[in-house]
Amino acid sequence: MTSTRFRTWAALWAAGLGVMRALAAEDVLLADFEGADFGGWTVHGTAFGEAPARGTLPEQAAVGGFRGQGFVSSFHGRDRATGRLVSPEFTVSRRYLNFLIGGGEEVGATCVTVTVEGQPVRSATGREDEFLNQATFDLGEFLGRTVRIEIVDGFAGSWGHINADHFVLSDAAATPPFVQNPPPPPPYHDEPLRPQFHFTAHSNWLNDPNGLVRVGDQYHLFFQHNPTGREWGNMTWGHAVGTDLVRWKELSPALLPDPLGTMFSGSVVVDAENTAGFQTGKEPALVAIYTAAGGTSEASKGRRFTQCLAHSNDGGRTWIKYAGNPVMDAIGDDDRDPKAFWHAPTRRWVMPLYVGVPDPSRPDAQGKPAIRHTCQFFTSPDLKQWAPSGVFPEELSECPGLVSLPLSPAPGTHLWVLWGGDGAYWTGDFDGRSFTAKSGKRIGDYGTHFYAAQAWDALPNGRVVLIGWMRGGKYPGMPFNQQMSFPVDLSLERQSGEVVLVKWPVPEIRNLFTSVLREDLPKPFPPGTHRVAGDLGDLLDLELEFLPGSARTVSLEVRGQTFRWDAASATATAFGKSIPSPPVAASAGRRSEFPPPWGPDLKPWDGSVRWRLLVDRTSLELFVNGGLATASFCFLPEGPPALSLTVEGGDLAHARLVRRTLKSAWR
């Protein structure tokens, strides 16, 4: 709808509508939106309604920061509606235009813009936050000229709305003048130590992945995040979204600290049957269950760790915390990291939870009972009321995960996998109440930097994708700190009579390939060093297969780091860690990006060793024999990219190398 009402600025002033009203000798108020309508502003489209908003609109997250009673909001019709609100012309009589702005961050599409003769000369977006923050334009070069203000909502996606209020001309800038940041020109996220295909926060600290869920075609990655510093603390839930598990867009933090504590780890579920009663629209609500870490902030002094709920009815963009929090009081010592899921056979929500239990039989150095690390299970019909159902008898570190996976090659057979924060896992049975292990404890990752993994475990076709925090990496001089591992598909295989958890990089990595080169080395390959020529770049996906022959050791050097295989022990050594790498049958672990494993004309060799290495700027991840063993490492690169293969003690019967170069996931 377009308004045809137009009144001169003087008439509006005289009418007491708050437009062009002189506040003081220095300032001129252009608009404060306290009137019954928009006055002389022209309305285009439906997004802005017919009058200023008087507070938070229906289904909008709480709005704050506006002045008085009224402000501009384009959330009428939610994010789908679009439109513009255009001021009458006015003369720039002061150098600065001060105003308040909130809402979406789409450059040129959710913004406040100043135009001269119809051409934009200044523009600012929100920050994907409903709070209206102070902004300032420097209009010094336009003094004495006539201009207009346009409040624009031209975006119908998530955060497709804009909030604005209190436009004032002044000789004093209320905040440093805003320079609109257009889409950054290359290089973007290209700092020297910025991982290029592993997720990092735009800035500051990151740790555990949280709340992994898929809604429609969009994956959500929540994560532990300190938005105010590069070190751990002030825990919030950071939030990123993407459609291919590889390329991510970071959004505003989802959960912020409150009087119950800072926001520790947890999970998000799609409440398809509205068991919690939070759904308001046609789509199921998302429900987060998380740990409020009492005692970790000034506001939560004296409180213990409890479990709480929040829900979202707009696809995870905004969250409302449950008024009845906490839904589970403290049980033991620092209970945390709930990983809820729907168990269809029992029609109950199930929640594995870390609980620290004092053990008097094991006094610590001060004579106090040491803490026994347990995983306990709880069930609920509605996510609000939880009852205990079982305790896993073995010790398990924090951040428990529990998923069901098919067993290959055994059609129709499924086993459950339970793991803890250090990656160690058990396979067994789960009856909806408790987990019974059928295996001993197994190592989930042989490297140094893999921790607190969580899975997207409600994906189509039973797919389960795991991602972890690469704990302990160093990033000197960078604006961010810490990174995630690369996502992997999970499966189970029986090897030598044992059931083994298999991890393999998600095939979506192909979206980043820029070139693929295969090199077959001379056979037999005598002792010596083979250096790979050409421009390698610093982003690589390597596959090496070799048939050991009489060689005693085989070493692959990548970016100054050496992975060394020893025939006597059938293990690889890297960064001081040993990784099992026994030769395997040609049929075992048959995975590659180009099936059959090495391309349409290649077969794996019986009795060969097969490695795959993902090489990013600050990390190396090794997958042995099709993912039967993995090892994750962070490192600081030394010197230019280089790749070489060294053989000692005898000939290699066969060797071949496939190297794929990757482009940045940030561009």
pLDDT, tens digit (0-9, with 9 covering 90-100), for 421-446: 999 999 999 999 999 999 999 999 99
Q: 400 versus 27: which is more confidently predicted?
A: 400
pLDDT given at position 533: 82
Is residue 71 exposed (0-12), middle (13-18) or buried (19+ Cβ within 10 Å)?
buried
- Measuring CA to CA, which residue among 46, 37, 39 is closest to residue 14? 39
CA atoms lying within 13 Å on the CB side of residue 48 = 31
Task: Determine what percent of the chain is predicted with pLDDT higher than 70.
Answer: 93
Cα 115 to the center of its chain, rounded Å? 37
What is the C-alpha separation between 235 and 274, in angstroms, rounded?
Answer: 29
Mean pLDDT of 59-68: 92
Instruction: Specify whether the CB–CB gap between 154 and 120 falls below 8 A.
Output: no
Residue type, 653: A
Distances (CA, A) of 92 to 5, 6, 18, 140, 145: 23, 20, 18, 8, 6
pLDDT band at 567 (very low <50, low <70, confident <90, very high): very high
SS3 142: helix
**pLDDT tens digits along 91-139:** 999 999 999 999 998 877 899 999 988 888 888 888 888 999 999 999 9
Let me know how long the chain is: 667
Look-up of token digits 């496939």: 658
Cβ contacts of 276-284, under 8 Å, gap ≥ 24: 276/309, 276/311, 276/382, 276/383, 276/384, 277/382, 278/311, 278/313, 279/313, 280/59, 280/313, 281/59, 281/313, 283/313, 283/315
Using the 3D structure, point to which of 170, 202, 218 is the last residue of a domain.
170
For the chain, the domain total comes to 2
What is the C-alpha separation between 12 and 19, in angstroms, rounded?
Answer: 6
pLDDT given at position 184: 44
**pLDDT tens digits along 202-257:** 999 999 999 999 999 999 999 999 998 999 999 999 999 999 999 999 988 999 99
- Measuring CA to CA, which residue among 611, 615, 667, 612 is closest to residue 641? 615
CA angle 511, 419, 612 (to 5 degrees): 35
Choice among 12-26, 79-93, 367-381 with the minimum mean pLDDT? 12-26
The answer to the question of residue 641 being in a domain is: yes
pLDDT given at position 595: 43
The answer to the question of residue 559 being in a domain is: yes
Instruction: Specify whether the CB–CB gap between 433 and 379 falls below 8 A.
Output: yes
Q: What is the CATH number of the domain that holds 17?
A: 2.60.120.260
Active site residue 138: no
- Which of 208, 314, 422, 445 is catalytic? The answer is 208
- Total-model pTM: 0.74
Mean pLDDT of 361-376: 88
pLDDT given at position 390: 96
The answer to the question of residue 296 being in a domain is: no
Residue type, 443: I
The answer to the question of residue 580 being in a domain is: yes
- Cβ neighbors of 149 (< 8 A, separation 6 or more) are 30, 86, 87, 97, 112, 113, 114, 115, 167
Q: What is the secondary structure of 638-655 as a DSSP string?
A: -SS--EEEEEESS-BSEE
**Phi, psi of 436, deg, nearest 5:** -115, 115
pLDDT band at 179 (very low <50, low <70, confident <90, very high): low
pLDDT given at position 14: 32
pLDDT given at position 164: 97
Instruction: Specify whether the CB–CB gap between 343 and 389 falls below 8 A.
Output: no
Using the 3D structure, point to which of 170, 203, 238 is the last residue of a domain.
170
pLDDT given at position 365: 80
**Alpha helices for 377-449 (secondary structure H):** none
pLDDT given at position 3: 30
Instruction: Specify whether the CB–CB gap between 85 and 30 falls below 8 A.
Output: no
SS3 490: strand
Q: What is the CATH number of the domain that holds 553?
A: 2.60.120.560
The answer to the question of residue 470 being in a domain is: no
What is the C-alpha separation between 665 and 198, in angstroms, rounded?
Answer: 8
The answer to the question of residue 98 being in a domain is: yes
Q: 497 versus 470: which is more confidently predicted?
A: 470
What is the C-alpha separation between 210 and 222, in angstroms, rounded?
Answer: 5
Mean pLDDT of 588-612: 66
Q: 14 versus 558: which is more confidently predicted?
A: 558
* 257 C-beta neighbours (distance < 10 Å), count: 18
Using the 3D structure, point to which of 119, 137, 170 is the last residue of a domain.
170
The answer to the question of residue 313 being in a domain is: no
What is the C-alpha separation between 138 and 619, in angstroms, rounded?
Answer: 44
Partners of 115 in beta bridges: 120, 148
The answer to the question of residue 650 being in a domain is: yes
CA angle 425, 339, 280 (to 5 degrees): 155
Question: Residue 570 is part of which domain span?
Answer: 513-662
Cβ contacts of 493-500, under 8 Å, gap ≥ 24: 493/407, 493/408, 493/409, 493/588, 493/589, 493/628, 494/407, 494/408, 494/409, 494/410, 495/588, 495/628, 498/439, 499/407, 499/415, 499/427, 499/438, 499/439, 500/442, 500/628
Question: What is the residue-averaged pLDDT of the chain?
Answer: 90
Mean pLDDT of 134-159: 91
